[in-house]
Structure 1
């Protein structure tokens, strides 16, 4: 009997592309007229972005610019989890935006139960921050991928290691 085919469902962010998007956004901010003389900045840290600006309008404009740059670099904006806008020193405002990597346990369970509800001959296993789907037929795996792409889980899903 042939071995089962499988693939992994993950939610990953290419941090090099994210760094490039942040750098492009900062360049645009430095050249825009409405940001002249502003101390607005976006800082990329390990798993988060720190935004700092004088007012609410500038923070929102920075987020919009950043999202535009992310889309151009094929990074899903669903990976951003913005926090609330707080007061910072010097009368400025700040906002922390978490970058979601990997599937949380809740999202992994939601994806696995959705796959189970498709009533196909496939098995979905939750493995740390990914879900492995296996089946005897590759056609069933293709159907699962098509169904997952059509449903919105509020996160960006990638399908890797199709074997």
Structure 2
């Protein structure tokens, strides 16, 4: 019986490359010369810091463009809070990975409401979809791609 998994994963190596590219772009920008601005990555996410709010917004745009150029979905970045410490303003972004239970339930409900001839089940941080025909599975993938969800989805482990 054909099946596939719906997951939300980020390649951390590509994230590191995107942050490095954003740092390089930051160093090349003339409007950031002699400005205390930085983009840092850690295990939990990415922190952007600048002296003023408009510079912080420009750094966020640079980071999002670097993510887009490395084919990382921008929805993988989730703002977790802005803080001001001393003369620096900081914005922290959490990298969203894995499907939370609520999102997995929403995906299963979308598939069931579409009345496709497939069965979906939640398995940890992924959703497995089974069907008798490959075409039904491809219809389910097309349905989920058309739907605007707040997390990036990947479809892997496709088995015939």
Number of equivalences: 159
User: In the alignment, is the contact (CA less than 8 A) between 1:47 and 1:100 conserved in 2?
Assistant: no
Residue 24 (structure 2) pairs with residue 27 (structure 1): yes
Q: Give structure 2 stretches of 5+ with no counterpart.
A: none
Out of 31, 34, 39, the residue aligned to residue 36 of structure 2 is 39
Please give the TM-score of this superposition, normalised by the length of structure 1. Answer: 0.94
Q: Following the alignment from structure 2 to structure 1, what is the Cα–Cα distance between the partners of residues 44 and 71?
A: 18
Out of 44, 53, 60, the residue aligned to residue 57 of structure 2 is 60
Residue 5 (structure 2) pairs with residue 8 (structure 1): yes
User: In the alignment, is the contact (CA less than 8 A) between 1:51 and 1:94 conserved in 2?
Assistant: yes
Residue 93 (structure 2) pairs with residue 97 (structure 1): yes
Runs (4 or more) in structure 1 with deviation over 6 Å come to: none
User: What SS is found at the alignment partner of 2:158?
Assistant: coil
Deviations 1:24-80 (A, max 9, x none): 101111121111111211111112111111111111111100111111111000101
CA RMSD, 1 decimal: 0.9
User: What SS is found at the alignment partner of 1:59?
Assistant: helix
- Report the CA distance between 1:137 and its aligned residue: 1.1
User: What SS is found at the alignment partner of 1:102?
Assistant: coil
User: In the alignment, is the contact (CA less than 8 A) between 1:108 and 1:126 conserved in 2?
Assistant: yes
Q: Following the alignment from structure 1 to structure 2, what is the Cα–Cα distance between the partners of residues 39 and 27?
A: 15
Residue 45 (structure 2) pairs with residue 48 (structure 1): yes
User: What SS is found at the alignment partner of 2:140?
Assistant: helix
Q: Following the alignment from structure 1 to structure 2, what is the Cα–Cα distance between the partners of residues 83 and 136?
A: 42
